[in-house]
Amino acid sequence: MAQPKFELPVPPAKYCILSFPSPNVLLVRLNRANDLNCVNMDGHAELDTIWSWMDAEPNLTCGIITGSGRAFSAGADLKEWNSVNQSGGKRTHPPGGFCALSRRSGRKPVIAAVNGICFGGGCEAIINCDMVVAAKKATFALPEVKIGVAAQAGALPRLIKTVGKPRAMEMALTGRTITASEALEWGLVNKVVGDGENEVVDAAVEYANMIAANSPDAVIVTRESVKMGWEGVGAEDATRIANEVWGPRLAAGENLKEGVASFVEKRKPRWKPSKL
């Protein structure tokens, strides 16, 4: 489909391809297939700019990230890492971590469409995504311990909340690969689909369209409340913060009034771009 009209200029992309499968949905496809979509330092910075743009662009509600070729992402660019080590330099990540996702807070949801190999930093990134769809052939691993490093992009304390201590320890300490069916059983992914070239992206777009059909204001506020629980804020404190900080903003917006009116009038709501 044609690119929607945006209020903010679309950022340039060298290491990934940007597209818009639906009017309010951004699709980011990592585009280093020959390198199994390993992400270098410039790639992390590029993705940080892209997610920041998505959060700020009023006409986008949800993002999707996927890979090209047979990998989602095999993790860090080890050739670059080795060169940095040899030169005595220092690798850097944006505050959001690997793919600017593994430690990202953000305002809007990101869905991972895992099309294949999802190792190391790639796996760390999807652990902090809001939803995950996987192809049957997708595989997941945190193999850092096998090469003398640790998964330090934010996944480990988050992984234990998703799959529990024994399974988190199994992944992190053995470095073994788990299948998509195991990942589904463990609660690491929402859904497993077939291995057709576009099936996993189509499934992610379906979820994204469900999200984008809702009030963009309500999506932001609802995600904030869930995220506070994910980050360890107690239930009552999270509810209080949501009501005190986000409640007035939601109530003052046009979309809340439109949603209530559309229900009473038995019609589809006409949402406005979010101003939250």
Please identify every residue annotated as catalytic.
Answer: 76, 121, 124, 144
Query: In which residue are the tokens 């209020």 written?
Result: 7
Q: What is the pTM of this model?
A: 0.92
Instruction: State the pLDDT at residue 241.
Output: 79
Instruction: State the pLDDT at residue 248.
Output: 83
At 148, list the tokens. 């003398």
CA 33 vs CA 29, 64, 253: distances in Å:
10, 18, 43
DSSP classification of residue 107: S
Instruction: State the pLDDT at residue 59.
Output: 95
Contacts of 268 by beta carbon, 8 Å cutoff, 6+ apart: 262
H or E segment at 168? helix 165-169
Distance CA 143, CA 131 (A): 22
Exposed e or buried b per residue across 62-88, where buried means at least 16 C-beta atoms within 10 angstroms of its C-beta: bbbbbbbbebbbbbbbeebbeeeeeee
Distance CA 116, CA 109 (A): 22
Side-chain-side CA neighbours of 133 within 13 Å: the count stands at 21
Q: Classify domain 16-212 at the CATH topology level.
A: 2-enoyl-CoA Hydratase; Chain A, domain 1 (3.90.226)
Contact predicate 50/87, CB 8 Å: no
Confidence of residue 2 (pLDDT cuts 50, 70, 90): low
Contact predicate 184/196, CB 8 Å: no
Phi, psi of 256 (to 5 degrees): -65, -45
Share of the chain above pLDDT 70, in %: 99
pLDDT (tens digit, 9 = 90+) per residue, 210-251? 999 999 999 999 999 999 888 877 777 777 877 788 778 888
196 CB burial (10 A radius; 0-12, 13-18, 19+) = exposed
pLDDT of 200 over the 70 cut: yes
* CA 71 to centroid of chain Cα atoms: 16
**Mean pLDDT score, 248-258:** 83
pLDDT (tens digit, 9 = 90+) per residue, 51-94? 999 999 999 999 999 999 999 999 887 787 677 777 776 777 78
**Mean pLDDT score, 31-42:** 94
Phi, psi of 168 (to 5 degrees): -60, -45
Phi, psi of 117 (to 5 degrees): -60, 130
pLDDT of 202 over the 80 cut: yes
**Domain limits, CATH 3.90.226.10, in the chain:** 16-212
Instruction: State the pLDDT at residue 274.
Output: 84
At 121, list the tokens. 């930093």
Instruction: State the pLDDT at residue 64.
Output: 98
Instruction: State the pLDDT at residue 78.
Output: 76
pLDDT of 140 over the 90 cut: yes
Instruction: State the pLDDT at residue 208.
Output: 98
Confidence of residue 1 (pLDDT cuts 50, 70, 90): low
CA 242 vs CA 134, 212, 236, 249: distances in Å:
32, 21, 10, 10
Instruction: State the pLDDT at residue 79.
Output: 81
Distance CA 152, CA 52 (A): 22
**Mean pLDDT score, 138-152:** 91
